[in-house]
Amino acid sequence: MGQHQSIVSAEWLKDNLNNPDIKIIDCRFRLPDANWGYQQYNHSHIKNAYYLDLNNHLSNTVTDHGGRHPLPDNKLLATKFEQIGIIKNKTTVVVYDDSRFAFCARLWWLLRFLGHHQVFILDGGWHHWQQLNFPTDNVIPSDGQGSFIPEPNFDLTVDIQQVKQAQTSPTVATIDARSGDRHLGKTEPIDPIAGSIPHSHNVFWQQNSTPEGFLQSKLDLETIWQAYLKYPEIIAYCGSGVTACVNIFALETIGYHNCKLYAGGWSDWCSYLQKSENLISHN
163: closest CA among 260, 278, 63, 60?
Answer: 260
Contact 10, 128 (CB under 8 A): yes
259 is catalytic: no
Catalytic, out of 104, 238, 245, 270:
238
- Half-sphere exposure at residue 147, Cβ-oriented, CA atoms within 13 angstroms: 4
Segment (H or E) for 137: strand 136-137
Mapped onto helix, strand or coil, the DSSP state of residue 54 is coil
Contact 64, 124 (CB under 8 A): no
C-alpha 261: how far from its chain's center?
A: 10
Q: What residues have CB less than 8 Å from 38, skipping those under 6 apart?
A: 51, 53
Torsion sign (Cα): 236, 63, 38, 20: positive
Strands (E) in 13-77, as ranges, are 22-26, 45-46, 49-51
Catalytic residues: 238
